[in-house]
Amino acid sequence: MKGKLTTKKINRFRRYIAWRNIIFSFLQSTLSGIKSFDQLFVITIAIIIGVAAGYVAGGFRTLISYFSDLFWGNGPFLEMVISAPIYLKVLIPVIGIVFVAIFVQRFAPEAKGHGVPEVMNAIATQSGFIRMRVVLVKAFASAVSIASGAAVGREGPIVQIGSAFGSIVGQIFQVSQRRMKTFVGCGAAAGIAATFNAPIAGAIFASEIILGDFSAGAIGPIIISSVFATVISRGMYGDFPAFVPPVYSLHSPLEILFYIILGVVTGFAGWFFVRTLYKSEDIFDQWKVPVGIKALVGGLIIGLMAIFIPEVMGVGYESMDRVLANDLSFLIIGGLLIGKIFATSISLGAGASGGIFAPSLFMGSMLGGAMGKFFNVFYPNITADPGAYALVGMAAMVAATTHAPVTAILIIFEMTAEYSVILPLMVTSIIAIAISSRLLDGNIYTLKLKRRGVDIYGGTDINVLKKLNVDKIKQQRVEIIREDASINELLVTMAGSEQPVTYVCDERDKLTGIITQGMVRRFLNHMETIPDDAVIKDIYQTRFPSVTDRTPINDVLQKLLDADMLAVPVLDDDGNLTGQVFRRDILREYQDMLIQTQSAGHMATEMKYVHHYHEKTEVIPGYLMARINTPSEFVNQSFHQLNIRHKFHVDVILICKTHNGVSINLMPVPKTIVGPDDQLLIFGKKPHVETLCGLS
């Protein structure tokens, strides 16, 4: 039965821990001598990660080739798909995607999808921790997906595999959280560099997209890993550009206008692709059938598409080469563009494992090639070859989907070794990202996380801040004075009060203004004596920030900082004063919750391997922290209804929810609903914790 403790599971887990500890101890003792030399240690680890990622990337490409030969026969992928019988064009994608969907769900749900968001989530919310098994599961699942015809790329899996290796190294040497993130970034950079033979773009990708950090402490090791991964990759496959670029020259300054138009159109196309991708995922997620059935339907659709447009299957480098060489007609290019958008969206929605970077390159090349042909028809004397527009379109589409223009520009530059096209690359990419960023609330990676409630760039701090609410920290005790009161009355009121703000109300008890101690001091400094007829209206401030019980705490804090105030009034919907929120209370509560989250997060990480049964740890003498399955009587109830602290005398520190097969640790709030597959991280005295464990 799901969630029950068995002797077999316990023994299997113990054997795993024993072997892991032996390997970790050996590696720690081997490199412990250089760990005391911080810079030397970091450089050495960066080299190790880079070399390993280079070989992993090569091994991954070999694995794809092996499965491709197994499924379709020995030969170029596209040629073999085109020549295959119709029944194989349909059957192979079905078998491949069904197998991958079930395999990933069983062994590592975070290996589903395009991989990069999971790495970003690990950095933002799990201190860079990535499970070891992700390396094997992601490599195997993605290789089968790509080889069987799913319209996905290989760069996403390589990024996740490289990042996982960097995380494993960090776990072995028990490095700090900041260093762990750097090592994860090293793995991501090395993966991109080895895949595309692009060391600069690999380093920028990791810094711009994965870490969002260009500091010297982070970028140095990342560059080293990127370089060594490229050296290994070039040793295995040679130093050749990924694509052969067309001969390019800017025929006329007016041609820049065409690239601006291309940028605008690509911005909208990027938006359409992102929306289509997540709409597809929503449709499959909301379909309440077994994952195998979803994959069967998705694979069947891909197989039927393969009958008519087999070019959309797999990574698609062959078709990109042809459009760069201006070897495809306008209608075929348009069909491949639309087909790839839907094929990639359906593949990932149905459960395939692979990246979206290569599909973005494919779509951009087709869109650019189509527009290049259009411009050439009407303005042949001032336009470059359509292949040049295809090349620029590749960068523009990557920029539109990832919102990382520097990475997009550099990766096309390095993949083609063609510098002359850099000007239109820059212009078109910036225009594309300007359009898509207005239409999308995040890039293709961060949107996936935002849909789970994770603010990737805010990190743990911002995500914790969002858990606070005004009603919890609002103080109802306020100092109020009528607006027709005299200054002398105000001074008497303030002298007997410890409140930094006095609130002024009219005869209907509506808040009309505020008075701070600083305002009173400034008034008194300008007056030798206080006039007898001086009233509150002469000095109070009528323009002031206010909040409601529904105002997000980060907005409350921003209002306090902008107005340089110690407290802000809380009003109801009718404008009545219901209390005030102090800056110090926000910071104190935030600090407590942050400490709690980080401590619990580390504990949850340590207990992450025991996913199907209890694991209890004595934190301090007499007190336990335990990760438990949800008791059946808790299901579909909110924490407010359960009132666990009062009934069981324990605190629920975190709730682990599973969304699309990926586990997410969240801080519980009163309105949080407990699901049947959730797990709770609880803390309390030993007898109380064990009592609650007995219910699950």
CATH number assigned to the domain comprising residue 185: 1.10.3080.10
Query: For 617-633, what is the mean pLDDT?
Result: 73
Sign for the CA dihedral angle at 661, 666, 668, 672 comes to negative
- Banded model confidence at residue 608, pLDDT cuts 50, 70, 90: very low
- Exposed (0-12), middle (13-18) or buried (19+): which is 320, by Cβ within 10 Å? buried
Q: Is residue 597 part of a domain?
A: no
In the predicted model, is pLDDT for residue 588 greater than 50?
yes
Last residue of a domain, one of 237, 264, 299: 237
Separation CA 118–CA 128 (nearest Å): 10
Same domain, 126 and 26: no
In the predicted model, is pLDDT for residue 606 greater than 50?
no
Q: Is residue 299 part of a domain?
A: yes
Strand ranges, E, within 556-686: 567-571, 577-582, 615-620, 623-629, 650-659, 662-666, 679-685
Q: Is residue 491 part of a domain?
A: yes
Same domain, 451 and 502: no
Last residue of a domain, one of 432, 457, 482: 457
Same domain, 570 and 617: no
Between 29 and 446, where is the model more confident? Answer: 446
Same domain, 200 and 302: no
Name 482's bridge partners. Answer: 505
- Domain of residue 4, residue span: 1-32
Same domain, 576 and 653: no
Domain count, the chain: 5
Burial 589-623 (b: 16+ CB within 10 A, else e): bbeeeeebbeebbebbbebbeebebbbbeeeeeee
In the predicted model, is pLDDT for residue 121 greater than 90?
no
CATH of the domain at 535: 3.10.580.10
Query: For 77-93, what is the mean pLDDT?
Result: 90
pLDDT of residue 77: 86
Q: Is residue 22 part of a domain?
A: yes
Between 540 and 306, where is the model more confident? Answer: 306
Identify which of 209-213, 344-348, 494-498 has the greatest average pLDDT: 344-348
Helix axis angle, 7-35 to 155-172, nearest 10°: 80
| Residue 177 near residue 127, CB atoms below 8 Å | yes
Q: Is residue 259 part of a domain?
A: yes
pLDDT of residue 344: 93
Same domain, 375 and 433: yes
Q: How many residues comprise the chain?
A: 696
pLDDT of residue 574: 78
pLDDT of residue 496: 73
What SS3 state is found at 632? helix
CATH of the domain at 614: 3.30.70.1450
Summary mean pLDDT of the chain? 80
For residue 53, give the H/E element and its range. helix 38-72
Separation CA 689–CA 7 (nearest Å): 22
Same domain, 441 and 320: yes
Q: Is residue 248 part of a domain?
A: no
Same domain, 28 and 89: no
Same domain, 38 and 27: no
Last residue of a domain, one of 202, 237, 272: 237
**Which tokens is 137 given?**
């599961």
Same domain, 487 and 422: no
Query: For 164-179, what is the mean pLDDT?
Result: 80
**Which tokens is 691 given?**
């009592």
In the predicted model, is pLDDT for residue 530 greater than 80?
no
H and E: helices and strands count for the chain: 28, 10
pLDDT tens across 233-271, in order? 888 887 776 677 777 677 778 888 999 999 999 999 999
Same domain, 86 and 171: yes
User: What's the predicted TM-score (pTM) here?
Assistant: 0.68
Q: Is residue 594 part of a domain?
A: no
Separation CA 196–CA 415 (nearest Å): 6
Q: Is residue 602 part of a domain?
A: no
Same domain, 294 and 212: no
User: Residue 322: what are its φ and ψ, rounded to 5°?
Assistant: -70, -40
Between 585 and 147, where is the model more confident? Answer: 147
